[in-house]
Structure 1
Amino acid sequence: MSPRTTQRPQRVRAAEPGTGQPSDFVRPKTAHQAVAEAVRRDISSGRFPPGSWIVQENLVEMYGVSRIPIREALKTLEAEEHVTYVPHSGYRVAQLSLEELQEVFRLRAILEEVLIRDGMPQVTDEIVEQMREQMAEMDRAAAVEDLVAVGVANRRFHFLSFEASRMARTKRIVTQLYDTADAYRPLYAHLMDLTKVNTEHVLLTDAMANRDVERAVALNQQHRAHAIDNLTEALTQEQAESTS
């Protein structure tokens, strides 16, 4: 499916001619922006795992665009450190060490706490209900062993915990950190205790419903610590197997 049919356009407030009053104007994404978003999604879902090569001809066929937006998109993704360029060979998905990934999670811990604290006064019952809906979506995906869908719903759930924050720049940074870490989620998914994950999600949602910011922050930190433990175990095992 072409990414141009799946990406959300940007909505800009423009002035009505002769009135000075703003009106809704939809500015479509450029082809290279759409491709960049599609590749980010495929990296975070595990379709393009860390260290794998990005073959431009394959992207042309997959996304139904020419090579020019593909090249522009890859340059954008290189600047964002999602991919790296190897001279005379091409692009490959960035591969991080365990120490680098632990740093990513530490940064998320710091920034998500800031966002949750900033957003809690604006949390609505609708946001809480959406969090419960994402928990139900995770249950449905887990029932059919669709780990990609589990990951998507999990990410939406956590983003809802700071949805009400007004700190747009910080949200963008956190989004990039999630993109980086989600590429490794398939590596440790088999170690996840989904029953424990669901229990922690219920507790976090209850804290949000009660507008209990201290408990929400503490539960979020605890929840992330378990993910770090699973990632550390998986990468340590992988490194041991590669050197044996």
Structure 2
Amino acid sequence: MGKQTAHHSSETAFVRPKTAQQAVFEALRHEITTGERSPGSVIVQDAVAEKFNVSRIPIREALKRLEAEEYVSYAPHMGYRVTKLTVDELAEVFHLRDVLEAELIRDAMPKVTGEDITQMREAMAEMDEAAKDADLIALGVANRRFHELTFARSSMERTKRIVAQLWNTADAYRPLYAELMDMSKVNTEHVLITEAMAERDTDRVIALNHEHRKRSIDHIREALAE
């Protein structure tokens, strides 16, 4: 029995090196979510291959994965582009998130722990630091983590995957409206959501989440109008 245990621990300690496909996937996703590649921009595979000094095979695989996660879209004879949505399509994405996250929050709430609340506060602190450094990427990551913690305890895994895809679809637009966000207002709303979570007030968390998201849609409409 002792030998089996030792063998198991050595297996779990093993860390697989990053593949070329994974490296390209992460690099392209980073460029999309930071606005370096804007919505609708064409992704030229030869140029990507030259930039990252890899063959086209890992690029094709990375692009298929990005397509599955809705960061990019493919059209015959046109190739891959960063997913571009109209204002109405973006509003639909945010509306779907609103509806589905409400269900996830209802399912998660009875299982929420004190540790979840602590992690939400930590995510808020990370957002504060990122805002001071004007680091939009870190800000976006911490913001997403904060919101995912409101429903992390839900057992509705399929719904969580759909919500993750909806987040991905809108990620490319975050740099466009980030400057319009009033961070002090965002922080206040996050504090209120956290307090409602700590009190296990499901309806209040959902209502606050709804108002919070509605403001994001208003910002998107304003940014795209410009």
TM range (shorter): 0.7 to 0.9
How far did residue 45 of structure 1 move?
3.1
CA distance in 2 between counterparts of 1:181 and 1:89 reads: 22
The question of whether the paired residues in 2 share the 8 Å contact of 1:44 and 1:181 is answered with no
Give the counterpart of 1:60 among 49, 65, 87: 49
User: Is 2:74 the partner of 1:85?
Assistant: yes
Match of 1:9 in 2: none
Cα distance, 1:80 vs. partner?
4.4
> Judging changes above 3 Å, is the alpha-carbon distance between structure 1 residues 51 and 111 closer, same or farther for their aligned structure 2 residues?
same
1:74 to 2:63 alignment: yes
**Code of the aligned partner of 2:207:** A
User: Any unmatched runs of 5+ in structure 1?
Assistant: 1-16, 239-244
Give 1:101-140 correspondences, 5 Å limit.
101-140=90-129
Query: What is the aligned partner in structure 1 of residue 151 from structure 2?
Result: 162
Within the candidate set 34, 40, 43, 2:32 is matched to: 43
For 1:223, the equivalent position in structure 2 comes to 212
Matched-pair identity in %: 62
The number of aligned residues is 221
Equivalent residues in 2 for 1:94-243, closer than 5 Å: 94-235=83-224, 237-238=225-226
| Structure 2 counterparts to residues 14-29 of structure 1, below 5 A | 28=16
Displacement after TM superposition at 1:230 (Å): 0.7
Q: SS at 1:92's partner residue?
A: strand
* Preserved CA contact (<8 Å) 1:118 1:166: yes
Query: Using the alignment, how far apart are the partners of 1:172 and 1:156 within structure 2?
Result: 14
C-alpha contact (below 8 Å) 1:141/1:149 kept by paired residues: yes
Distance 1:130 1:79, change over 3 A: closer
Partner of 1:4: none
Bigger relative contact order, structure 1 or 2, given CA contacts below 8 A and separation 6+?
2
State the shift of 1:84 in Å. 2.7
CA contact (8 A) 1:56 1:70 kept: yes
CA distance in 1, matches of 2:125, 2:40: 33
| Displacement of 1:65 | 3.9
Aligned CA distance change for structure 1 residues 195 and 97 (closer, same or farther; 3 Å): same
Say if 1:112 and 1:63 are closer, same or farther in 2 by CA, change over 3 A.
farther
The TM-score with structure 1 as length reference comes to 0.80
Q: Give the deviation of 1:62 after TM superposition.
A: 5.3
Instruction: Tell me the C-alpha RMSD between the 2 structures.
Output: 2.6
SS in structure 2 of the partner of residue 175 of structure 1: helix
Cα 1:32–1:155 shift into 2, 3 Å: same
Instruction: Name the one with the larger strand percent.
Output: 1
Structure 2: segments with no counterpart, 5+ residues: none
